[in-house]
Structure 1
């Protein structure tokens, strides 16, 4: 049957896409020389030696544990309290910024005559105590760091941490009590090595999560560049507002300037592959005996859509849903809505499937009617095969004539199945990118919808539902034995592929098939009842 061929085309398209995603690699040489960061002057924040954990300022909010280095006031450690590295390992949390056996830091600096970050060692800020914690009942924690140079210019670097947020506000206040005007440049950097994070699970048919730099170029909101590309072609651009960041699976860090500021964005890759992306804001002038402030915000946390949207324009694009974002984003928000009152992401996926199948039902009904009509024509098709089986051309002509006379459409089942392809791919990206589904249980043995079913129960059930769908479809007399054999193996092929897919995606496909079977049976029975009623009425006449 032509609808079976459409099913095969859909399967081939999906498999081709997934194979492309699985084996895609980036090519090109990796230069070893550090890229230039500025034509006018070097604005890279100076890097000091090793960091002692005993000489750091501890800050704890309801969501994150931070460590800040007094020399320079950089954030060198960020531990996400709500996210475990592995399922059922509450003592091992996800760490983004780190200084211990790797390098990943958020630096910010002021450069200029007498500035705290002009040379090594960088200025050591003073603070009231070495440990801060967001108190119960308080919505904000303020950490002030202060330093005064020999000329009488006082620099206050203040961090503000808010309850329930991964966004940190940072502000420099410059109080120039000297007798001379001074100018400064504010620089914000993210620096990290290229070591794997340990969170790059390859549970989705080997799809490798992106890890690299993202930023908002001029007249755009989002662009991502992997480390190899960045080494070959460093970033060098300017724009008003925007943001710069590092992406990894499920998590992101980003510096966000004041959106009315014009910034220069650059990047560099050292010989040891340590990578830096930075922005520099315009020179700020502080006249003698006056005070000015300048600052930025830092996001460090999960790809939480609501918080990303609030943090900066385009930062929500770091939840990368590829070319099907226009489908994926509504699906993602629909799942969030269902989860809000169900409390189970598996049930939310099932409800999303029901909604999708309901919206596509008008098209699907046409497909099912076509199948039912083609099934009624099976005896006539068999007679044509017996009569013209040796003459393929005549056979096709007679069949097309029969289709026209009977008002049947042999291609009526293809379009609805092909329309499911972008929906399938969109949901694939949603399940791969949505941090909410990471370690999210369904029931029983399925404790993580973002990874494959450990006992392969869902893939086997999906294969069984696909086999049932095939059994309900009429066979095409134009298919030879080889074609029919290939089609009969399609459920087996899909089952094998689904063994490696996230359980959430297999759950969607299983529910999709079961609803399709129910809808097909409903339409077929309805047509049979209408035909029986018509024959009965004709008999009375």
Structure 2
């Protein structure tokens, strides 16, 4: 096991343990254990568990966004003060004054990205778990907290004819419907990129309402507005259906949460 795999292993175990626990709970309520819908609801439940645990961090993110909006007029004045001064001493002085402003307001340009960064290891863990299921099922191995029987069961499960372990780029397991995989993948890719775009547009609209469209934070938001949906859209063809379910659900959660917690003036 290499160093990266060793770092990711605890997250793989936690993600698979939550998913298995939810799956077993749904099975005890009468849902078929081998049904793709039981596993799909387990993945959606995994999102709800992780995002509910991140609510305190998300509240801090919203507060950080508000403080950055309040800070923008001061940053604009600072930029005007040093406009046209390209020497190293001026650049250093401007950077120091910017850091002083961030410290005074208790924020920084990257604080709003914290919930996304925290989710990255969970997302990578789920991606490696689901991507490894076809190989593990063939070799009789377990993955994380999933037993070999559960791995094989997941590998054979599907929704609308699309196996949860299938992806556009890596193909469809035997018995799966290739057309269903493509259609379901495209629908979810569109849903997750659209929700990401709407969320970022809402954040930018809040800044426009506050009169703070200038400055580095606004430029950062414009970059994120188009780059994040493009990244998710391009990456969607790599993700298994199960991962697309996870990422679509979490993007929809983020969109609703942003409108509820920071609805605007």
Considering the TM-score relative to the shorter chain, is it more than 0.5?
Answer: yes
Maintained 8 Å contact 1:335/1:348: yes
Q: How does 1:181-196 map to 2 (within 5 A)?
A: none
The residue that corresponds to 1:396 in the other structure is 95
* Per-residue CA distance 1:240-281 (angstroms, 9 max, x = gap): xxxxxxxxxxxxxxxxxxxxxxxxxxxxxxxxxxxxxxxxxx
Q: How does 1:49-88 map to 2 (within 5 A)?
A: none
Q: How does 1:59-458 map to 2 (within 5 A)?
A: 322=9, 324-340=11-27, 341=29, 342-343=31-32, 344=37, 345-391=39-85, 392-432=91-131, 433=133, 434-442=151-159, 445=160, 447-452=162-167, 453-455=181-183, 456-458=186-188
Alpha-carbon separation, structure 1, partners of 2:67 and 2:220 = 25
The residue that corresponds to 1:129 in the other structure is none
The residue that corresponds to 1:512 in the other structure is 250
Where structure 1 has 5 or more consecutive residues not aligned to the other structure, the ranges are 1-19, 22-320, 530-541
Maintained 8 Å contact 1:373/1:408: yes
Alpha-carbon separation, structure 2, partners of 1:424 and 1:476 = 33
Per-residue deviation at 1:353? 0.8
Maintained 8 Å contact 1:325/1:426: yes
Maintained 8 Å contact 2:75/2:98: yes
Alpha-carbon separation, structure 2, partners of 1:415 and 1:480 = 18
Give aligned pairs, total. 207
Using structure 2 for the length normalisation, give the TM-score: 0.64
Per-residue deviation at 1:368? 2.1
Maintained 8 Å contact 1:369/1:524: no
Maintained 8 Å contact 1:467/1:491: yes
Alpha-carbon separation, structure 1, partners of 2:92 and 2:161 = 53
The residue that corresponds to 2:260 in the other structure is 522
Maintained 8 Å contact 1:381/1:399: yes
Distance 1:374 1:351, change over 3 A: same
Higher helix content, 1 or 2: 2
Per-residue deviation at 1:436? 2.7
Distance 1:517 1:486, change over 3 A: closer
Distance 1:338 1:368, change over 3 A: farther
The residue that corresponds to 1:471 in the other structure is 201
Maintained 8 Å contact 1:328/1:427: yes
Maintained 8 Å contact 1:367/1:412: yes
Alpha-carbon separation, structure 2, partners of 1:410 and 1:480 = 10
Where structure 2 has 5 or more consecutive residues not aligned to the other structure, the ranges are 86-90, 134-150, 168-180, 205-212
* Per-residue CA distance 1:490-520 (angstroms, 9 max, x = gap): 3212211112211110111111111122222
Maintained 8 Å contact 1:365/1:520: no
Maintained 8 Å contact 2:12/2:126: no
Maintained 8 Å contact 1:466/1:513: yes
Q: Larger relative contact order (C-alpha < 8 A, sep ≥ 6)?
A: 2
Maintained 8 Å contact 1:458/1:506: yes
Per-residue deviation at 1:370? 0.8
Distance 1:381 1:410, change over 3 A: same
Secondary structure of the residue aligned to 1:413 is helix
* Per-residue CA distance 1:334-357 (angstroms, 9 max, x = gap): 342354135522222112211110
Distance 1:339 1:389, change over 3 A: farther
Per-residue deviation at 1:479? 6.9
Maintained 8 Å contact 2:15/2:46: no
Distance 1:476 1:393, change over 3 A: farther
Using structure 1 for the length normalisation, give the TM-score: 0.34
Maintained 8 Å contact 1:459/1:495: yes
Per-residue deviation at 1:483? 9.9
Alpha-carbon separation, structure 2, partners of 1:476 and 1:451 = 44
* Per-residue CA distance 1:405-424 (angstroms, 9 max, x = gap): 33334332343322212211
Maintained 8 Å contact 2:82/2:94: yes
Structure whose CA Rg is larger:
1
Distance 1:431 1:396, change over 3 A: same
Per-residue deviation at 1:397? 2.9
Secondary structure of the residue aligned to 1:377 is helix
Alpha-carbon separation, structure 2, partners of 1:438 and 1:350 = 17
Maintained 8 Å contact 2:200/2:221: no
Secondary structure of the residue aligned to 2:111 is coil
